[in-house]
Structure 1
């Protein structure tokens, strides 16, 4: 059940074009943030063509939806204060949209890019430009298709925003990007059709493999008859120089799977989670759920040799079939070590509970922050059961989300037609200045759910088992602030956030787009903004 609508009508963030957009009401604030650092921002341009290509990341040949013909896609790398211009050329053969995951999009709500919420889809054989600034964000992010099943089929890439004021800048010598993913040999559209049928009984697809930076080996004896498969396709390889310190930026781009990440014989120190700096805490194994990101510092302080990097499926969160999956591996190669020697295999033995995030004691904010008091409380119940067609679907307070992809909620606001949205839009309006909201999610499902909030970070006040919140255990002193957090199976989580970003933003399980709610923030302020004509044209093209 955990997987429902993973593939269903995801969406994209479209971005604001200088030439057609008048100054948003936050532009002066953004400029002040930039000027306060004496930083001269640059405009970084990325030309991205989406197209299908035949590849074999693990030796099994299949068609992938790619960015510039590669998987994972090109890394977007900028500095805090810069402007990102993403020129999208859609050659996928179907509509698309690109979401910059974790970007606040202040003043540019039309570019948060969720079809049915903030935009219409980009047609096939059509070009569209996303153009937005990042004046006040730095950290580890990613971008991906938010349309249909495309991100599962390969439309993903890293988005890294460097920070000139990084408090840990002198604590590491180099950066290394590590992208984790589960991997299916069957195209996601086929999996979707099978899953969204009564015959599936709500049992989610199990991946065939996992990848690190788009590579792994696969036992081709398990490949279906008639397929093209090559054994020993090759593992990702990471170069270490003795005694150097490395900042590893780790991103889980999976469709479904949570992992434990580790490097044999090497400790890690967490320093960042999803744009928030943390106190340095040593760990051996890092739990990382779908759409989550971390930075860790690893020192190359072991004898010169080759070592195993591991991404272990958290199988407790998965169907029984997942027991067959092997540990996903890569090679850490020390300069001076033999190129051909077998990597040292010495996995850490620490016990970690599966299907939950790092404990608060390990994940603490670097800077003290006084939390605002909550002025509003909401409670939302997650459930799964059959619809009228006998298909298991997701419900939030007994309402299953149904988007209108041809007339997004944001477009309705501009048209003055958003006052009476149907219940199935799962829309909640916030229009009080200074409001602070606690959202309690009660998960009656037997699976965990990594929930992502668009347009914001939130404080994670606490989580636990059962359907009754232990309010006495909530942390309002030093909770971590992030944008993706795991709601435990048959458990609860409490988020606190400040709705101060006029626009329409989703909160959803990153494995289940159907398990989704919309935040409509300050609709009257939205109307004072002027969306670019290119954004308006997308919906005109639908008709």
Structure 2
């Protein structure tokens, strides 16, 4: 069962609710400065991003990479997304944007399919229509349908601030990512199969820097550059440093921070970091902008995988590309827990509702390894959760109607919510919350595989609570460690909380927060796009998680996780069985080859062939 604690603060919630209603009314009189209209149609484009070989990537209007979107604070975006695929659904999420319903936006614009909208069917068009009234900084947009953005359906979204506190001459946006050989759906199918019983994540063939490798940035002398770094990858975190240049962190995840010098950056998937870099006085040398894969996340490191990429800060093109630079240790990256917001926001010093989420990775009865919060792996419902909340009347506050397959938590308006994530997995996980930023109030280090996890102990926190905690929307929990996050539930909506290693989301590592659903019902009317999209997919627009709008507590037909493994079967048992099968098949192969008169491999070559076979599987 879910571990919960709720404290009573009805008076505070009433005041907050009134304040935000007044704010919403006032904001309705504020006209957006500019409306930006985009018409995008998805489709496959053949490109060669890394020079290794051609690959099909997902483009817009026949082009890849996707365009960066630049707007100003207060502007409006109208983005018409047409599904140009023949046999795939799609959707779009604007990562880091609140879609604040207090300020006239709609929760329907958030994007994750079967959470806030129905998936867009082939040939269908969905209008994403919203303003950016109170957010500035570095964001990005990407598909939120399966692991689709793995194949390049992603781009930067920059909201420029006319009142920025930063002083710089020019700016650059850099989106980094990982690249896979095969289409995302083939990679995902093998990953989530009994032929991968250990749950080993797919290994990318490369890492990209602005959609290619070994890129060049052109610097002029005696200037200050604002560099916006976005990790838009599916899996691996990346380290960054610039040879013989000082980096100053000034923004993370759309939040200005007190300027902080950094030798080395660590950016997980979904995270953004902005840095200021002062250029040199002379053009005597070009310098390396190093990009390094976090190889501790890889179960196997293929011999041909290039872990480091050398990009060039070019002062003089005649000097050619920079040579690889080196750093003493990858342990010296700046810990985001130590960053202080530029506009200081005091610690939410107590909580009203605590949600404890224990992360586990286990195999179920179909032989596949899944990811769990509190022994529940997310399985999409038959009705998008937002549509269930909007059609349920007063029952919308009862978590039972949302099913026991999505880790549903109902939040009351105005309460302070504390999320405790205890990681019982020996891998790092970047967790992302839609609709909010959160305060990072505790963050432990990690431990080695096989050691006891560092679970959060409220009576004995590992450090003092910061006076002005870091604000983020995506945070890394270390191997076998924990994080504690706090935010105030003042944005009515259905908000996804999930691991941004997209393979782990595919495994089910997600929860859904149903925030102030009765107030949400007062504000939301289903858009024409939502209604048409659901109709095209033959998906109900009302009813509980199982699609029942007569008996709201009947979950007959609810999609659920597979049954547990039979007694006596374990992950190690499956792995041993798989290994034995491979060895046995290889033995049969050598016997057949011998029978056909071919030369039998000696022991050393046989061992090499077997090792290669296991690495490829």
TM-score of the aligned structures, taking structure 1 as reference length: 0.86
Q: Does residue 47 of structure 1 match 2:39?
A: yes
Q: 1:310 aligns with which of 290, 314, 321?
A: 290
SS at match of 1:161: strand
Aligned to 2:222: 243
Contact 1:65 1:92 (C-alpha < 8 Å) held by counterparts: no
- Residues 526/195 of structure 1: CA separation in 2 closer, same or farther (3 Å cut): same
Question: Which of 244, 254, 273 does residue 233 from structure 2 map onto?
Answer: 254
Distance 1:270 1:449 in 2: 22
What's the counterpart of residue 223 of structure 1?
none
Q: Where do residues 112-261 of structure 1 align in structure 2 (5 Å cutoff)?
A: 112-168=110-166, 171-201=167-197, 202-216=199-213, 235-261=214-240
Distance 1:273 1:147 in 2: 26
SS at match of 2:337: coil
1:368 is the counterpart of 2:355 = no
Alignment of 1:284 with 2:284, yes or no, is no
Give the counterpart of 2:307 among 326, 330, 341: 326
Using the TM superposition, give the Cα deviation of residue 283 of structure 1 relative to its aligned residue in structure 2, in angstroms: 1.1
1:297 corresponds in structure 2 to 276
Using a 3 Å threshold, how does the CA distance of structure 1 residues 35 and 368 change in structure 2: closer, same or farther? farther
Offset of 1:149 from its aligned partner? 2.6
Give the superposition deviation at 1:325: 2.6
Return the offset for 1:502: 1.0
Please name the residue that 2:537 is paired with. 542
> Is 1:386 paired with 2:327?
no
Partner Cα separation in structure 2 for residue 454 and residue 359 of structure 1:
19
Which SS does the other structure have where 2:195 is aligned?
A: helix
1:457-514 deviation line (CA, Å, top 9, x unaligned) = 0001121143332525142412110100001111111000111111100100011221
Contact 1:258/1:288, CA 8 A, preserved across alignment:
yes
The two structures have a TM-score, normalised by structure 2, of: 0.76
The structure having more radius of gyration, on CA atoms, is 2
Q: 1:35 to 1:347 in 2, by over 3 A?
A: farther
Deviations 1:103-154 (A, max 9, x none): 1011211111211211101111222211100101001000000012320011
Runs of 4+ in 1 over 6 A off after TM superposition: 25-28, 33-36
- Asked if the contact 1:84–1:132 (Cα under 8 Å) also holds between the matched residues in 2, the reply is yes
Residues 385 and 348 of structure 1: CA distance in aligned 2, closer, same or farther (over 3 Å) = same
Q: How does 1:387-536 map to 2 (within 5 A)?
A: 387-404=364-381, 406-416=382-392, 419=398, 420-431=401-412, 433-464=413-444, 465=446, 466-469=453-456, 470-471=460-461, 473-511=463-501, 512-513=504-505, 514-528=508-522, 529-536=524-531
Is 1:34–1:40's contact at 8 Å kept on the other side of the alignment? no
Q: Deviations over 1:236-284 (max 9, x none)?
A: 2211110111000000011101011122111110000011101111112
**Aligned counterpart in structure 2 of residue 102 of structure 1, from 96, 104, 109:** 96
Q: Is the 8 A contact 2:336 2:470 kept in 1?
A: no
| Structure 1: segments with no counterpart, 5+ residues | 1-24, 217-234
Normalized per residue, which structure has more helix? 2
| Preserved CA contact (<8 Å) 2:114 2:383 | yes
Q: Distance in 2 between matches of 1:153 and 1:27?
A: 41
Please give the alpha-carbon distance, in whole angstroms, between the structure 2 residues aligned to 1:289 and 1:434. 30
How many residues are treated as equivalent by the alignment? 490
Q: Over aligned residues, Cα RMSD in angstroms? A: 2.1
CA distance in 2, matches of 1:322, 1:375: 48
Q: Deviations over 1:332-354 (max 9, x none)?
A: 111xx143524254333354268
SS of the residue aligned with 2:149? Answer: coil
Measured against aligned partners, the alpha-carbon deviations of 1:292-350 in whole angstroms (never above 9, x if no partner) come to 0011001112641322211100111222326743312322111xx14352425433335
Segments of structure 2 that go 5 or more residues without pairing to the other structure are 1-18, 447-452, 539-617
Helix, strand or coil for the counterpart of 2:331? Answer: coil
Question: Conserved in 2, the CA contact under 8 Å of 1:265 and 1:348?
Answer: no
For 2:247, which of 244, 254, 268 is the aligned residue?
268
Aligned to 1:471, the other structure's residue is in SS state coil
Higher relative contact order (CA 8 A, sep 6+): 1
Against the structure 1 CA distance between its residues 28 and 375, is the aligned structure 2 distance closer, same or farther, given a 3 Å change threshold? Answer: closer
Query: How many Å separate the matches in 2 of 1:353 and 1:63?
Result: 37
- Tell me: CA distance 1:377–1:120, structure 2 relative to 1, closer, same or farther (3 Å): same
The structural deviation recorded for 1:102 is 0.6
| CA gap 1:130/1:49 in 2 versus in 1, 3 angstroms | same
Distance 1:325-1:34 versus aligned 2 partners, 3 A rule: farther
